[in-house]
Amino acid sequence: MLSTGALRAHLLAARLAGPVATSREDSLRSYRLFAARDPRVTLGLHPRWSWDEGDLLRLMADKCGVSGDPAYRSGPDVIDPERTLAALGAFAARLAEAARRRAPVLLGTGHPHRLLGFYAGLADALSAAGCLVLTPAKGRCVDITTRFGVRTYSIDYVRGVALVREPGRKGAGCETGAHTHSPLPVRAALEGLADVGGPLPELVVGDHGWVCGAGQLGIEAVGLADTDDPALFVGEAEGRVSVAVPLDDAVRSDYYRPLTRYVLNRACLSR
């Protein structure tokens, strides 16, 4: 069993917390865009409250541990590992509650190259505990606006975890799908469930638009978020995201394995 102290040391060594690769410039740019309600960073969330750049910086200092000094404009951003550990505990508690109820769950990621293994481990454990791991709308096409224009992607599932990929891009080298911040995939997945009269998820687990898109529609959602992803923390502050875990979401995929073990141990879902 991975102790809290051991995980704290891993978070710092792997740069999941502490000084992270996400730059202060990128974080401040995201806060500026969120304040302007740019959909690239609101991730499907429609904030109820007025959030300006100062509000967002104070929120992220509270939720993540970034510097609250507006004069700090460049250099690495910082995540407080104690905040990450506390949020992982709350995240595990929501998984444990879903498992207790044998609730239907939906897992999806916009960071498949990094986080697919983390979510797949959770999907396996939730399924073993009796939860229905939903895989709706497989193959459904979604048009997503990117910096290269509108691109068509299709919804797919790997080990029970939803992701999007370019149609026809399946096979060697393409197993992990595409990176996206869009809430459109989770909306399409939920529409797919409605089309067949299937059960809706009682919990959505993921990141980016999967979490914010579900939370905006009133479905309980928990997920991971970096310092340049203020939308999940705004959603948490406004009560539409249950748990947002602050950590770097783009380190090596194997660095997330200890987090999977820790969360499943805390949720009493280890096998």
Give me the DSSP letters along 41-104: HHTT---SS---HHHHHHHHHHHT-----TT--SSEEEE-HHHHHHHHHHHHHHHHHHHHHT--
Please report the pLDDT score of residue 141 as a whole number.
95
pLDDT at 204 > cutoff 80? yes
Candidates 192, 187, 133, 140; CA nearest to 165 is: 140
Please report the pLDDT score of residue 170 as a whole number.
58
Structure tokens, 54:
């100062």
pTM of this structure: 0.95
- Write out pLDDT tens, residues 48-86: 999 999 999 999 999 999 999 999 999 999 999 999 999
The helix or strand, by DSSP H or E, that contains position 164, with its residue range, turns out to be: strand 161-165
pLDDT at 91 > cutoff 70? yes
- Three-state DSSP class for residue 189: helix
pLDDT at 271 > cutoff 80? no
Band (pLDDT 50/70/90 cuts) for residue 175 is low
Other CB atoms within 10 A of residue 64 CB? 27
In this predicted model, which residue has the larger pLDDT, 61 or 271?
Answer: 61
Indicate the average pLDDT of the chain.
95
Please report the pLDDT score of residue 41 as a whole number.
97
Please report the pLDDT score of residue 1 as a whole number.
76
Q: How far apart are CA 239 and CA 220, in angstroms?
A: 10
pLDDT at 209 > cutoff 60? yes
